[in-house]
Chain A
Amino acid sequence: MSGLLEEMTQKALARNIPLSVQLDLTYRCNERCVHCYLDHDDHGEMTTAEIKHLLDEMAEAGVFILTLSGGEIFLRKDLFEILEYARRRLFFCVKLKTNAILIREAEAARLREIGVESIQISIYSHRPEVHDAITLVPGSLKRSLDAVRFLKAQGLRVTLANVLMVQNAQDYRGVRALAEELGVECSLDPTITPMMDGNRSILSLNVDKDELRQVFRDESLVGSVDEFCAISGPADDNTLASLPCSAGHTNCYVSPYGEVFPCVQFPLPTGNVRKQRFIDIWRHSERMNDVRSIRLKDLTTCSSCSHVSGCSRCPGLAYMEGNMRGPSTQDCEKSFARTGVPSANMLAKKRDGISLVQIQSLPAITSATV
């Protein structure tokens, strides 16, 4: 984060202003990615008028960065009307997340004219047979990459967003090389998250610990491996008094149905903009304020963990595991893969496991002795 953005974020935090919001315009999609956490049926998306009204309320509340995502945003026939409104009338800094397969030269030119800040495009492999097998749409890699070229030709800022999973574990270097060739940025997310309805079956697509360990030791990704994989020092009082993440503090998420959540990865319902004003949910929702009250020292298990000051713990993943003040096992595994040191949560589970094995094994030993 740039120094000035960090300064503005601190000011927004002090004034309880939602500086950044992700708004999903639809959950409908023209791809069927095997790792996706969404249900793609339309359960009653906000209308164009409802979205414009919401954007008015967000601008009034001080939202500056507006990320429009989905589902696939280009399936909304009113997308450009919404973009024009968000940019020309309300001056949001607009970022887009898309698979881009519906972006051709004309759409790219229009996005530039409107002044979209950046476009993040999902690319899972440099090999069509791998990417298309993840999206389940033949020809999708070619179409997405064509779109990247159209957007680049307009001088727009593009990032290839790759998600690491079993199917493409060997391909992240290829995607990075592709990004370099195209002159765009590239990101890699090593976490598959549960579906929003709590279904955890897709977690089996996460890469195993050994592969994750190798990724975390790839200098081309992490820079200095020694620094990246170092164990963080003991947490001091300032660290323990700090916030777990920005969810509900300067950021939040709004679904296509108007539900407001602390973050896209934190499905704790805090209100619906179809029934309440956005700013009232942001300021007065008991659940939002409960999320806001949490400091690292309040985290059960994690506050005493050796990783507490350097962990990527996601409160949303912890919430989906059953306790937003508890550990997120997926992040424990990442900390372990990174440093080789088990987390307090892993040690506690292991202790419980050993204890159970001992109880079960005693009769067997006895019977063997007899």
Chain B
Amino acid sequence: MSKLFVARNPRVAARSLDGEMMLMSARDSTLFTLNKTATIIWQSADGNTPLDEIVHTRICAEFEVEPTEALHDAETLARELASHDILQLSEEPIPQTGGSR
């Protein structure tokens, strides 16, 4: 099974408000907020770490969730965020610059 790499779209605006991540799409200025789990995925989406590794090391380690179910939910979320140009998805590592707050 191929790996899925996730990277933050560098044209998205983002800020953590007391642990809750606010994002604004560069495409249409739509505002999104992410829950804690989704925020972890966003913050870990460096283009180099595969999604299954993010789920294993960051989500399953912090929350009591079953790994297969967590990965399925994470993939669904990542594809939804990608449909809004919030995340970039690829089966190859994605070069990135910058950080996020």
Contacts and interface: CB of A to CB of B under 8 A. Distances in A.
Contact of B13 (A8, A89, A92, A157): A92
B29 A15 contact: no
A117 B15 contact: no
B2 interface: no
A11 B18 contact: yes
**Which interface residue of B15, B17, B18, B20 has the most chain A CB atoms within 10 A?**
B15
Interface in B11-51: 11-18, 20, 22, 24, 26, 29, 31-33
Interface stretch (B56-64, B66-74, B75-83, B93-101): B93-101
Given A8-B22, A59-B101, A88 B31 contact: no
Given A88-B98, A115-B12, A117-B26, A15 B17 contact: yes
Contacts of A91: 12-15, 98-101
A94 B29 CA distance: 11
B47 to A, nearest CB: 14
A7 B14 CA distance: 16
A163 B27 CA distance: 29
Contacts of B100: 91
Nearest to B20: A11
A8 B14 contact: no
Interface string A102-141: 0000000000001101100000000000000000000000
B10 A8 contact: no
A228 interface: no
A150 B24 CA distance: 23
B73 to A, nearest CB: 22
Interface in A62-102: 62-64, 87-94
Nearest to A115: B11
B70 to A, nearest CB: 26
A157 B25 CA distance: 12
A59 B32 CA distance: 18
B16 to A, nearest CB: 8
B31 A117 contact: no
Given A8-B22, A64-B22, A88 B97 contact: yes
Contacts of A93: 13, 15, 24
B97 A64 contact: no
A369 interface: no
A291 interface: no
A118 B15 contact: no
Given A89-B99, A91-B101, A117 B13 contact: yes
A60 interface: yes
Interface in A188-203: none
A90 B22 CA distance: 13
A64 B23 CA distance: 9
A151 B10 CA distance: 19
A284 B39 CA distance: 30
A11 B17 contact: yes
Given A59-B15, A63-B15, A118 B29 contact: yes
Contacts of B13: 64, 87, 91-94, 115, 117
Given A4-B33, A94-B13, A115-B11, A89 B26 contact: no
Contacts of B33: 4, 7-8
A8 B12 contact: no
Nearest to A11: B17
A15 B31 CA distance: 20
Contacts of A364: none
A89 B98 contact: yes
Contacts of B16: 62
Contact of A8 (B11, B17, B29, B97): B17
28 contacts: A2-B31, A4-B31, A4-B33, A7-B33, A8-B33, A19-B17, A59-B101, A60-B101, A62-B16, A62-B17, A63-B15, A64-B13, A64-B22, A87-B13, A88-B10, A89-B98, A90-B99, A91-B12, A92-B13, A92-B15, A93-B13, A93-B24, A115-B10, A115-B11, A115-B12, A115-B26, A117-B24, A118-B29
Interface of B: 10-18, 20, 22, 24, 26, 29, 31-33, 97-101
